[in-house]
């Protein structure tokens, strides 16, 4: 939908009124005895009331009816959405998935919620500490239904098909190469325009923040002003059975009400959904020699309570210049105390020209060795090192987590997308060891 307006700034205190109702935001107070236009005031808290100011998050919504006017929640079928991390035995192997299948609308109509599949995760929404990685694949818009995640925040990475997200705060159009974050408790409904697929990083008990910049200085990486929040939009619509789907403690529940939840005429606060275009990422990297750790490409981080350790980081591999001298430029071989899930929005990934496809994924678990495939090693060990564009026209990303993730039954079996031959991409790596090697004079 062209022409949607947004408010700019990461985590800002924002105000928004639907232009049809000027003056809908109460002046000078949050809880007037009677709100302008006869609206109800409702607070949405995204942090404990008592959090320090720097991490305190809440918004005030002025709505036609309060959210509480609904029939009781009852359990509904979860399909492939889960928080059960013991469905199958652990598997420390390098895992790679072919592009996840998108259902054909002619065969089966699937909306965003029905198309949610949990791939891996760890931790527990009850103790408010953990993550889940989901894939969504769908072909049909949600009608007279919305979703609310009571367990955590969704960072949504569209890979195919734009999605129009109607939220209590207004509408956002999110295209592949953009991402959006729908924070805990925010109700939203997704419209799609064809076969649609993407990835979701869910974190329980933390919100995404911009990483600190340290010696980089005041600017760079993802700049705060490029984060966009929607503007207030409401509908005063009576519906014969509007369904609210609530993900609560890893299970789905639904309830009915007789009005649209998108009835917020005005809002203010610093707790909103937002989107970000990955093209705006200001890439910082090595300009002399050696390979910087990929944390240099962190867009957003959800911090744990351990200093410097993330519940999960969202890291991208954007188009950039590669200029490092006397350096093996692709990612190094390594074993990591963090879990690395990777996805591909478009193009290919520099460490694996083949096999890792847009819409697919890979998981290199804690301490599982990985790195460039055989072809990549040979090519980059002998190439002449001139400045060159890296990753042109591509966008790979990584969800890096300090959690040791379990893969679900859907991920290992049901989806049938696991590439059993993945390990073979390293089989051509051969020994170049020469015990008689002598240093060449420079
Ligand atoms: O494993 C990967 O491909 C991701 C990655 C990229 C990189 O440039 C350095 C380390 C790393 O884990
Ligand atoms: Fe890695």
65-95 residue pLDDT tens: 999 999 999 999 988 999 999 999 999 999 9
**By C-alpha distance, which of 417, 402, 312, 413 is closest to 91?**
413
Q: For residue 225, how many other CB atoms are within 10 A of its CB? A: 11
432 is a domain residue: no
CA distance 318 to 98: 22
The mean predicted confidence, pLDDT, of the chain is 97
Least confident of 7-21, 79-93, 304-318, 351-365: 351-365
426 is a domain residue: no
440 is a domain residue: no
CA 36, 42, 43, 44 dihedral sign is negative
| pLDDT value of residue 351 | 78
pTM over 0.90: yes
Boundary-marking domain end, from 278, 298, 322: 278
CB 218 within 8 A of CB 280: no
437 is a domain residue: no
SS3 for 422?
A: helix
| Together in a domain, 12 and 160 | yes
Strands 320-322 and 388-390 turn out to be antiparallel
| Together in a domain, 208 and 105 | yes
CA distance 366 to 361: 16
Which ligand lies nearest to the CA atom of residue 367 in the structure?
A: 2
What is the DSSP secondary-structure string of 17-33? E-TTSTT-SPSS-S--S
CA distance 158 to 163: 8
439 is a domain residue: no
Look up the CATH number of the domain holding residue 178. Answer: 2.60.120.10
334 C-alpha vs ligand 1 centroid, how far in Å? 8
Whether 398 lines ligand 1, by a CB cut-off of 6 Å, is: yes
338 C-alpha vs ligand 2 centroid, how far in Å? 9
As a residue count, the chain comes to: 442
What is the DSSP secondary-structure string of 291-302? ---GGGGEEEEE
Whether 268 lines ligand 1, by a CB cut-off of 6 Å, is: no
| pLDDT value of residue 442 | 61
* pLDDT category of residue 353 using cuts at 50, 70 and 90: confident
| Together in a domain, 256 and 342 | no
Range of the domain at 18: 6-278
363-398 residue pLDDT tens: 999 999 999 999 999 999 999 999 999 999 999 999
Which ligand lies nearest to the CA atom of residue 317 in the structure?
A: 1
| Together in a domain, 25 and 149 | yes
* pLDDT category of residue 440 using cuts at 50, 70 and 90: confident
220 C-alpha vs ligand 1 centroid, how far in Å? 21
| Together in a domain, 268 and 346 | no
Q: Which residue has the tokens 């991409």?
A: 425
341 C-alpha vs ligand 2 centroid, how far in Å? 9
| Together in a domain, 249 and 293 | no
Q: Does 340 show up as a binding residue in the annotation?
A: yes
CA distance 183 to 186: 6
Whether 340 lines ligand 1, by a CB cut-off of 6 Å, is: yes
Q: Which residue has the tokens 């991402």?
A: 179
| Together in a domain, 132 and 260 | yes
| Together in a domain, 325 and 271 | no
**Residue bearing the CA closest to ligand 1, atom 9:** 331
**Which stretches of 330-433 are assigned E, i.e. beta strand?**
339-346, 361-364, 388-390, 395-401, 406-407
435 is a domain residue: no
26 C-alpha vs ligand 2 centroid, how far in Å? 50
Task: Kindly give the number of the ligand 1 atom that is closest to the alpha carbon of 370.
Answer: 1
CB 100 within 8 A of CB 414: no
Catalytic residue numbers, as ranges: 291
| pLDDT value of residue 352 | 82
Whether 113 lines ligand 1, by a CB cut-off of 6 Å, is: no
What is the rounded average pLDDT of the residues 228-255? 98
What is the rounded average pLDDT of the residues 186-202? 98
CB 41 within 8 A of CB 64: no
| Together in a domain, 271 and 352 | no
346 is a domain residue: yes
* pLDDT category of residue 2 using cuts at 50, 70 and 90: low
196-220 residue pLDDT tens: 999 999 999 999 999 999 999 999 9
Q: For residue 302, how many other CB atoms are within 10 A of its CB? A: 23
390 is a domain residue: yes
Boundary-marking domain end, from 227, 257, 278: 278
Select from 398, 422, 426 the residue to mutate for testing ligand 1; criterion: most ligand atoms less than 8 Å from CB.
398
What is the DSSP secondary-structure string of 47-60? S-TTS-GGG--EEE
In the chain, how many domains are there? 2
250-304 residue pLDDT tens: 999 999 999 999 999 999 999 999 999 999 999 999 999 999 999 999 999 999 9
What is the rounded average pLDDT of the residues 174-197? 98
| pLDDT value of residue 388 | 97
CA 61, 63, 69, 73 dihedral sign is negative
Q: Does 370 show up as a binding residue in the annotation?
A: yes
| pLDDT value of residue 378 | 95
Please state, for a pLDDT cut of 70, what percent of the chain lies above it: 99
| Together in a domain, 44 and 193 | yes
What is the chain's alpha carbon radius of gyration, rounded to the nearest angstrom? 23
| Together in a domain, 291 and 258 | no
E strand or H helix that includes residue 311 = strand 310-317
Q: For residue 388, how many other CB atoms are within 10 A of its CB? A: 12
| Together in a domain, 271 and 322 | no
Whether 331 lines ligand 1, by a CB cut-off of 6 Å, is: yes
Strands 188-192 and 163-167 turn out to be antiparallel
SS3 for 269?
A: strand
């Amino acid at each position: 939908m062209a022409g949607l307006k947004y408010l700019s700034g990461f985590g800002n205190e924002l105000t928004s009124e639907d232009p049809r109702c000027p003056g809908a935001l109460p002046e000078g107070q949050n809880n007037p005895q009677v709100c302008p236009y006869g609206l109800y005031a409702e607070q949405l808290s995204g942090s404990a009331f008592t959090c320090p100011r720097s991490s305190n998050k809440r918004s005030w919504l002025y709505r036609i009816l309060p959210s509480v006017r609904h029939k009781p929640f009852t359990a509904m079928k979860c399909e492939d959405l889960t928080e059960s991390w013991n469905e199958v035995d652990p598997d420390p192997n390098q895992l790679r998935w072919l592009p996840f299948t998108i259902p054909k609308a002619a065969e089966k109509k699937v909306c965003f919620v029905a198309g949610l599949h949990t791939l891996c995760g760890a931790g527990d929404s009850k103790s408010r500490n953990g993550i889940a990685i989901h894939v969504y694949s769908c072909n049909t818009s949600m009608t007279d239904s919305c979703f609310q995640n009571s367990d955590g925040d969704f960072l949504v990475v569209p890979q195919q098909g734009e999605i129009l997200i109607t939220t209590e705060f207004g509408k956002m159009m999110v295209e592949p190469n953009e991402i959006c974050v729908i924070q805990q408790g925010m109700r939203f409904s997704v419209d799609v325009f064809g076969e649609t697929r993407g990835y979701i990083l869910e974190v329980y008990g933390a919100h995404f923040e911009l990483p600190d910049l340290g010696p980089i200085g005041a600017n760079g990486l993802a700049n705060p002003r490029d984060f966009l929040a929607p503007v207030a939009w409401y509908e005063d619509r009576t519906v014969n059975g509007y369904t609210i789907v609530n993900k609560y403690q890893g299970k789905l529940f639904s309830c009915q009400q007789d009005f649209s939840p998108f009835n917020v005429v005005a809002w203010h606060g610093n707790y909103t959904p937002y989107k970000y275009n990955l093209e705006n990422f200001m890439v910082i990297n090595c300009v002399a020699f050696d390979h910087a750790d990929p944390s240099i490409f962190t867009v957003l981080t959800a911090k744990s309570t351990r200093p410097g350790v993330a519940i999960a980081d969202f890291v991208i591999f954007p188009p950039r210049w590669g200029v490092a001298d006397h350096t093996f430029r692709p990612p190094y071989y390594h074993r990591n105390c963090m879990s690395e899930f990777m996805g591909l929005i478009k193009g290919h990934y520099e460490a694996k020209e083949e096999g890792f496809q847009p819409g697919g994924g890979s998981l290199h678990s804690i301490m599982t060795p990985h790195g460039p495939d055989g072809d990549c090693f040979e090519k980059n060990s002998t190439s002449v090192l001139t400045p060159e564009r890296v990753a042109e026209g591509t966008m790979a990303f990584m969800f890096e987590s300090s959690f040791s993730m379990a893969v679900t039954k859907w991920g290992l079996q049901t989806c049938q997308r696991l590439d059993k031959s993945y390990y073979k991409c390293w089989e051509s790596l051969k020994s170049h060891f020469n015990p008689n090697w002598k240093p060449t004079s420079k």
